[in-house]
Amino acid sequence: MRPVQMVDLKQQYLAMQAEIDEAIRRVLDSSVFIGGQSVEEFSQHLAAWTGSRYVIPCANGTDALQIALMALGLEPGDEVITPSFTYIATTEVVALLRLKPIFVDVDPRTFCMDANALERAITPKTRAIVPVHLYGQPAAMDEIMTLADRHGLYVVEDNAQAIGARYRFYDGTERQTGTMGTIGTTSFFPSKNLGCYGDGGAIFTQDASLADRMRMIANHGQRIRYYHDLVGCNSRLDAIQAAILDVKLRRLEGYIVSRRQAAAAYDEAFKTEDRILTPWVDPRGTHVYHQYTLQLEGVDRDELQRYLADRSIPTMIYYPVPAHRQRMFTQLGAGGEDLPVTDWLTGRVLSLPIHTEMDAELTERIATAVLDFIHKN
């Protein structure tokens, strides 16, 4: 029997081994390990694939967020509104830059920023909104962009989990996540939907001067070598990672289809079980299922997790502690907001294995084990 993993990067690699090995060999041959043709080509291909005018590659998804916020010229103490129900990187960079994170609740159906909560959180000190397209589904960008326009706020989309997802606005225009706000960011961490074999990230914008500024910030604030106009950092996507990503980008559409097939199989298996709420998809968007996350009702989650682990089925809780309850923030006097939906979801979400190498046997084996536990309890 095939072992079950949250993500099966080995099988995925074996399915394209010759191409990946050849791409890496070409970089070794050229001995251009930083910058160069492979980074340039991948950036162009990614821009074309996402429909983004500018793509700035960088070292990881956390740097991408940091560089994006650095480029906006915010002042210490300026308020940045983010969900608390997200990976720590989204909120950490806000604090790192001495900006003030304002945590808002999420919509329990989409796990993404609640637009009503966002509206209530806007103050005269608010400068930016950082929505997260969590688990692979677009946030409510219609409402978010409308509020941002009305109040003159920047929008930085954290698209680390949703590359390739689409969203249709009320006026009929359709865009990919990461290309709708002022800036979008993504991560190529190996387990992400477009992952490399190390660390990597990218930044998206449609604005030429912001693109120029972010390119400089990612490169020690220089446009001309050794002439540093801005305080920046050192954040590069290396050539081997770019070459790998270029091979995988050609497969990304197929990867998304595989993930959707696995999600559809789970949806079908759980549809008559009242104690399991399967992911809801906002009809305005498409879901790329970075995670397949259940909400459990009246089920002992820890017991279920143990039961599955005993049967060699891994599961994860994304995330066990929301940002507003992290000591990182509470010791700064931030956090401590009352976010009932976030707290409630934290106690009842469970993510099942989902990846590009799933097949019907695997999803059935996992779903059957989940249902067996529920029917016994």
Binding residues (CB under 6 A) for ligand PLP: these are: 60-62, 86-87, 89-90, 132, 158, 160-161, 187, 189, 199, 201
- The closest alpha carbon to 9, from 269, 283, 193, belongs to 193
Q: Which is nearer to ligand PLP, 90 or 258 (CB)?
A: 90
Q: Which is nearer to ligand PLP, 89 or 367 (CB)?
A: 89
Supply the DSSP string of 30-86, one letter for each residue.
HT--BSSHHHHHHHHHHHHHHT-SEEEEES-HHHHHHHHHHHTT--TT-EEEEESSS
**Whether 241 contacts 235, CB under 8 Å:** no
CB of 290 to ligand PLP, least distance (A): 8
Q: Which amino acid is at 136?
A: G
Give the pairing of strands 54-58 and 201-205. Answer: antiparallel
CB of 292 to ligand PLP, least distance (A): 15
CB of 259 to ligand PLP, least distance (A): 15
CB of 364 to ligand PLP, least distance (A): 28
Cα–Cα distance between 197 and 270 in angstroms, integer? 34
**What is the separation of C-alpha 34 from the centre of its chain, rounded to a whole number of angstroms?**
25
Q: Which is nearer to ligand PLP, 304 or 349 (CB)?
A: 349
Q: Which is nearer to ligand PLP, 8 or 199 (CB)?
A: 199
Phi/psi of residue 51, nearest 5 degrees:
80, 25
Q: Which is nearer to ligand PLP, 161 or 286 (CB)?
A: 161
- The closest alpha carbon to 241, from 45, 16, 55, 42, belongs to 42
Q: Which is nearer to ligand PLP, 89 or 147 (CB)?
A: 89
CB of 216 to ligand PLP, least distance (A): 21
CB of 90 to ligand PLP, least distance (A): 5
Beta bridge partners of 174: 168
Q: What is the dihedral of CA 25, 26, 32, 38, to 10 degrees?
A: -120
